[in-house]
């Protein structure tokens, strides 16, 4: 079985980008930057801070015995560090899932040690950057010297910067008062075109591309407002676009940049607060911001800097990972990765913001709701655990080891197991296992919040699982598996055939082959159902300059239904059906 280290070191992460000074006309810089974003699947699958990597930062205060490094080398080192190292070691080098690299440590280790460590890596998960060819000899040398300097400190991004970037493109009073198009919005798919910094709006019935819209750089995910009218999209550069799907052709009506690196966005869903607020979470600076749901006006910034839940030691950059909206209370559920805390943010009074801070587990990442939408189940992936939160009581319910390596559920998958009752599923990045956790404390109390079943899919490197209330199938991808055929296939388990304690059979769908793409090594990522739950869409994600595709499979027959190919579909990855995403159906 491929260790995560093998997965990491086999996948090349390439990225080309322009220098971006944070000051100056942000939008113009971003446009240039977007054209250059070009990464293959994130080999290390940890934070790639392309945007931070473009900043021109001062060399921090020199000291007499500082190693000599010139600005040009320093810029090269920053780019490499933010894009390849910061995801594990932290932007400020204070450690995250990887060790701290502050100068008290690096100077103790010395240049030679750092140089060989970067070259050869370590079995504990540090990629062999030198011997794998990811970094040249010269780059390894620069990095070893760079680490002997104080860490760079990227700029903050407060209200002044947010207001500078904030644009209301179409004021609420100038927007349509009724839907101006005949698009079946509830069955529309918002498709991430990752390296193009765009999304495609594709009709869930006709497969017609209704619009290709400019968004943030290295765009990441889409979420839908409670009314289903507004689509919110966040770029890794922290740019949020709010798209009005009632317009003749859906278009951006407001945008803002909430930070320099960001990954999550959501809107208020509680009755009486529909479309009232939006929220976005940033990796850098470590913060989340609550905005007006109609205009994206920034209203309240909350820093997540603070103390790690168990050690009670300070962490300077706890990243905001998944954010979900409670269906039970006017609260946002905010995962804070490095401190292992979950904020239940009460949005009824922003001036007197009430936050229930729940001690959970470190390295929280993605997650979703159970089928009742009461429980939030999220992966603390670097600690191989699932954390369960009761959103009705705003309380921790359980922390459960998945018995697998690096759970990565996306929003997970809810279904009724023939023997175990209601369960929620996650697959794993670090091995080929799928874990089912019991989600029915009333009817199946003995199973509740325990791993009731583990079985095996195609291979390690899985990123997403998916099912639908109308489906009898559980789909599991293997996107980052090093084997080309495996990463281009998907495993399908027939739910009604699952038996307690028995290793289930699965059907392998050769999605990549069905796409008919002969160049490159396209990977299949993220199953997403249409609204009715009759079709499953898969992205066939190829390099930016090669043909990608979206493959549609009939959920009943598991046969190929459609291959959507269009030169505008550049590096499609996440797909978000409007109704299923709005109503948390998965
Ligand atoms: Fe994602 C969700 C973070 C790389 C595709 N990704 C998320 C979420 C987080 C996250 C915190 C949950 C958001 C939420 O629910 O509010 N992703 C990160 C990273 O830190 C990481 C590992 C590296 C990085 O620098 O971004 C990363 N993600 C990727 C990819 O390389 C993927 C595969 C392709 C791409 O488009 O970038 C990718 N991430 C996705 C998708 C989702 C996601 C499709 C939403 C899944 C869903 O069904 O909701």
455, pLDDT greater than 90 = yes
Task: Report the DSSP beta bridge partners of residue 543.
Answer: none
Instruction: Check pocket membership of 412 for ligand 1, CB cut-off 6 A.
Output: no
pLDDT band at residue 120 under the 50/70/90 scheme: very high
User: Which of 528, 574, 581, 586 to mutate for ligand 1's pocket (most ligand atoms within 8 Å of CB)?
Assistant: 574
113 is catalytic: no
The question of whether 88 is a catalytic residue gets the answer: yes
Pick the catalytic residue: 220, 408, 444, 468?
A: 408
- Is there a catalytic annotation at residue 428? no
Backbone angles phi, psi at 222, to 5 degrees: -115, 145
pLDDT at residue number 24: 41
CB 137: neighbour CB atoms within 10 A?
10
Q: What is the pLDDT of residues 272-298, one digit of tens each?
A: 999 999 999 999 999 999 999 999 999
What's 61's DSSP letter?
A: -
pLDDT number for residue 50: 82
Q: Which of 37, 89, 315, 428 is catalytic?
A: 89
Mutate to test the pocket of ligand 1, among 42, 286, 425, 550 (most ligand atoms within 8 A of CB): 42
Dihedrals φ, ψ of 525, to 5°? -135, 140
Contacts of 371-375 with CB under 8 Å at 24 or more apart are 371/414, 371/415, 371/422, 371/424, 371/439, 371/469, 372/439, 373/327, 373/328, 373/584, 374/327, 374/328, 375/439
Q: Is the CB of 574 under 6 A from ligand 1?
A: yes
Q: pLDDT tens digits, residue range 196-250? A: 999 999 999 999 999 999 998 889 999 999 999 999 999 999 999 999 999 999 9
Q: 3-state DSSP call for residue 313?
A: coil
**pTM for the whole structure:** 0.90
Q: Say yes or no to pLDDT of 17 above 80.
A: no
Contact 279, 289 (CB under 8 A): yes
pLDDT above 50: residue 45? yes
Tens digits of residue pLDDT in 167-205: 999 999 999 999 999 999 999 999 999 999 999 999 999
Catalytic residue, chosen from 115, 126, 343, 417, is 126
pLDDT in tens, 547-562: 999 999 999 999 999 9
Residue 8 has pLDDT above 80, yes or no: no
Residue given tokens 């949020």 in the structure block: 240
Question: How many A from CA of 408 to the centre of ligand 1?
Answer: 10
Report pLDDT for 126.
Answer: 87
Packing angle of the helix pair 137-146, 71-80 (nearest 10 deg) = 100
- Reference 78, options 22, 157, 7; nearest CA is 22
Q: Please indicate whether residue 374, judged by its CB atom, sits closer than 6 Å to ligand 1.
A: no
Question: Of 85, 242, 245, 344, which residue is the catalytic one?
Answer: 85
- pLDDT tens-digit map of 288-341: 999 999 999 999 999 999 999 999 999 999 999 999 999 999 999 999 999 999
User: Is residue 12 pLDDT above 90, yes or no?
Assistant: no
């Amino acid at each position: 079985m491929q260790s995560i280290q093998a997965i990491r070191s086999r996948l090349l992460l390439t990225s080309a980008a322009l220098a971006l000074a944070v000051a100056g006309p942000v939008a113009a810089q971003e446009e240039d930057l977007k054209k250059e974003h070009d990464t293959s699947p994130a080999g290390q699958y940890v934070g790639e801070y392309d945007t931070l990597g473009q900043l021109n930062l001062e060399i921090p205060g020199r000291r007499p015995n500082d190693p000599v490094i010139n600005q040009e080398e320093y810029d090269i080192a920053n780019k490499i560090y933010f894009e390849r190292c910061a995801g594990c070691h932290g932007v400020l080098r204070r450690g995250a899932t990887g060790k701290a690299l502050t100068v008290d440590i690096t100077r103790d280790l010395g240049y030679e040690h750092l140089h060989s460590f970067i070259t050869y890596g370590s079995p504990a998960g540090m990629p062999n950057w030198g011997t794998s060819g990811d970094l040249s000899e010269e780059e390894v040398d620069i990095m070893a010297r760079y680490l002997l300097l104080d860490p760079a400190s990227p700029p903050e991004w407060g209200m002044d910067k947010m207001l500078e970037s904030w644009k209301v493109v179409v004021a609420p009073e100038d927007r349509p008062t009724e839907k101006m198009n005949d698009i079946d919005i509830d069955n529309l798919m918002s498709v991430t075109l990752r390296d193009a910094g765009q999304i495609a709006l594709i009709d869930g019935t006709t497969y017609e591309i209704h619009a290709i819209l400019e968004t943030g750089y290295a765009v990441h995910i889409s979420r839908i407002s409670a009314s289903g009218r507004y689509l919110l999209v966040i770029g890794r550069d922290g740019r949020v676009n709010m798209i009005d799907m009632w317009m003749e052709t859906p278009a951006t009506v407001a945008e803002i940049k909430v930070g320099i690196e960001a990954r999550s966005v959501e809107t208020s869903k509680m009755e009486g607060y529909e479309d009232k607020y939006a929220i976005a979470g940033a990796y850098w600076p470590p913060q989340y911001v609550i905005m007006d749901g109609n205009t994206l006006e920034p209203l309240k910034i909350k820093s997540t800097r603070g103390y790690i839940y168990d050690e009670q030691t300070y962490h300077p950059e706890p990243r905001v990972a998944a954010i979900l909206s409670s269906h039970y209370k006017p609260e946002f559920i905010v995962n804070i990765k490095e401190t292992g805390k979950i904020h239940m943010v009460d949005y009824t009074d922003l001036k007197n913001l009430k936050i229930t801070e729940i001690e959970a587990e470190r390295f929280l990442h993605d997650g979703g709701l159970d089928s009742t939408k009461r429980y939030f189940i999220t992966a603390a992936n670097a600690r191989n655990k699932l954390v369960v939160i009761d959103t009705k009581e705003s309380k921790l319910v359980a922390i459960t080891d998945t018995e697998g390596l690096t759970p990565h559920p996306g929003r997970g998958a809810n279904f009724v197991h023939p023997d175990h009752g209601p369960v929620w599923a996650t697959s794993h990045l670090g091995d080929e296992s799928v874990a089912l956790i019991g989600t029915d404390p009333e009817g199946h109390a003995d199973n509740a919040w325990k791993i009731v079943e583990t079985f095996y899919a195609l291979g390690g490197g899985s990123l997403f699982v998916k099912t639908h209330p109308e489906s009898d199938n559980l789909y599991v991808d293997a996107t980052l598996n090093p084997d080309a055929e495996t990463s281009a296939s998907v495993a399908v388990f027939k739910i009604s055939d699952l038996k307690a304690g028995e290793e289930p059979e699965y059907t392998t769908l050769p999605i990549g082959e069905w796409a008919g793409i002969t160049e490159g090594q396209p990977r299949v990522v993220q199953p997403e159902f249409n609204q009715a739950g009759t079709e499953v869409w898969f992205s066939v994600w190829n390099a930016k300059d090669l043909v990608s595709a979206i493959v549609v499979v009939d959920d009943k027959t598991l046969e190929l239904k459609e291959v959507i190919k269009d030169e505008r579909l550049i590096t499609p990855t996440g797909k978000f059906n409007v109704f299923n995403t709005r109503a948390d159906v998965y």
